[in-house]
Amino acid sequence: MIWDRLGVITDEVAPELIEALDWIQGEQLKHVEIRMVDGVNVMELTVAQVERIKRETDSRGLFVSAVSSPLFKCLLDPARPLRTGDQFGQAEKTAEEHHAMLPLAIDYAKRLGTRYIRIFSFWREENPSLHTEEIVAHLRRAAETAEREDVVLLLENEHSCNGGFASEVAALVRAVDSPALKVLWDPGNEHRHSPSFPKGYNHVRDLQVHFHLKYWYVALGEEPLLPQLEALEKDGFTGLFTIETHYSPEGGTRKDGTKLTLKLLRDMLP
């Protein structure tokens, strides 16, 4: 069902690229997402470092499935300070600075051989619905740039952002109405606050092209994961699955959490 399309974000295995790639190859996974390498956010890497990533993944028979950027994890308006979330080593920047980073993200995606760039929907406002027009305008501007460059932006449902729920990211993507903006569906993020299946999935089922799997969501067992995977198969989903562990067992590391996530998947799925 998923084994020929399963990968992992490299820094969920190890900060060091080579250690991560060697383990991923040994586990016969198929692809990697690039978020942080050797402790550096992907948007802070040099061209030489990006080209090294491509060489090392290619040499192990792996491919890069997405640039897991932090684009648009920022304030819509600095005059409205808000609680922020995980930026994976990137300092707070303005929305315009994030737009200015988009061409670099596109360049890195092309160098890595992928069309996909993960993005967000700005730090969550107290009442996101009051700012929908502004959010959509920024996302449409980004999507227009992506469309010209033949890449696809993946808007993840992230609880710290305005698109925190499936219903919200779906509404934003539909409002932008561009082939260059799709949904990155993370049912684990959804399930912390609202049922991910079938309620959440029904909002994004025709919009999502990429799927993240967190440890704790997998650890819930057959429900709701198996019905979700069966629905994906029935709906003709052809996208990729990526382990994003976000879990370290007591006394262990994130790599231990990734190992456990993979073991649970292998025990559960044929």
Given this model, what pLDDT does residue 20 score? 98
Which residue has tokens 């919009």? 207
Q: How far apart are the first and last CA of the chain?
A: 8
Q: How far apart are CA 29 and CA 5, in angstroms?
A: 8
Residues near 204 by beta carbon (within 8 Å), at least 6 away in sequence: 157, 166, 169, 170, 183, 185
What distance in Å separates the CA atoms of residue 31 and residue 135, rounded to the nearest whole number? 31
Contacts of 150 (CB under 8 A, 6+ apart): 115
Question: Splitting the chain (270 residues) into consecutive groups of 10 residues, what average pLDDT does each group show?
Answer: 94 98 98 97 97 98 98 93 76 94 98 98 96 98 98 97 97 98 97 95 98 96 93 97 96 97 94
Give pTM, 2 decimals: 0.96
Cα separation, 34 vs 146, in Å, equals 19
Tell me the Ramachandran region of residue 258: left when phi exceeds 0, alpha when psi lies from -120 to 50, beta otherwise: alpha
Sorted by where each begins, the domain ranges of the chain are 3-268
Specify the residue for token string 């030489």: 48
Residue-by-residue DSSP string for 23-34: HHHHTT--EEEE
User: Where would I find the beta strands (DSSP E) of 52-168?
Assistant: 63-71, 116-119, 152-156
CA–CA separation, 262 and 260 (whole Å): 5
Which pLDDT value is given to residue 270? 79
pLDDT value for 86 = 73
Does domain 3-268 sit in CATH 3.20.20.150? yes
**DSSP for 19-86, written as a single string:** HHHHHHHHTT--EEEESEETTEEGGG--HHHHHHHHHHHHHTT-EEEEEEEEET-S-S-TTS------
Per-residue pLDDT, 82: 79
